[in-house]
Amino acid sequence: MGEKIASYKDLRVYQNAMAAAMEIFQLSKSFPPEEKYSLVDQMRRSARSVCANIAEAWRKRRYKAAFVAKLSDAESEACETQVWIEFANRCNYFNVETMEKLDNMYNHIIAQLVKVIDEADKWLIKKK
């Protein structure tokens, strides 16, 4: 933690999750109309939820269990997003290169979340 983190927006894991979610948003615009209320919604929802759970975790740093629980939710949503990415690839909405790029992005995000969870005490708000 060399740089000053004043907000969840300063966290690299949040920035990476936001970038991945926005990439999914752009790519899913080209999916067929019949996927609008199924795969597109599910994929966008889970990708956005990673970001939202990180933000919620940031505000729960007074309580380790609550902080870790929200980060765990973010990790689960990231993994769910990987499943939707695989579906998009198998339905031929993504090519293999796009699927692998997105899957690698989410593997990195998951690794970052696991690291924060493992080092949760460093992030907690200390009582004065």
The ranges assigned to domains in the chain are 8-122
State residue 124's pLDDT score: 95
Q: Answer whether residue 18 shows pLDDT above 90.
A: yes
Q: What is the mean pLDDT of residues 20-28?
A: 97
Q: What is the mean pLDDT of residues 52-74?
A: 97
Q: What is the mean pLDDT of residues 106-128?
A: 94
| 93 C-beta neighbours (distance < 10 Å), count | 20
Q: How confident is the model at residue 123 (pLDDT cuts 50, 70, 90)?
A: very high
List, as one string, the DSSP characters of 59-99: HTTTSHHHHHHHHHHHHHHHHHHHHHHHHHHHTTSS-HHHH
Q: Considering the domain 8-122 in this protein, what is its CATH number? A: 1.20.1440.60
CA–CA separation, 71 vs 74, rounded Å?
Answer: 5
State residue 2's pLDDT score: 57
List of residues 6+ apart from 96 with CB closer than 8 A:
89
State residue 80's pLDDT score: 98
- Contact of 95 with 50, CB cutoff 8 Å: no
pTM above 0.85, yes or no: yes
First to last CA, the chain: 21
State residue 127's pLDDT score: 78
CA–CA separation, 125 vs 60, rounded Å?
Answer: 9
State residue 1's pLDDT score: 45
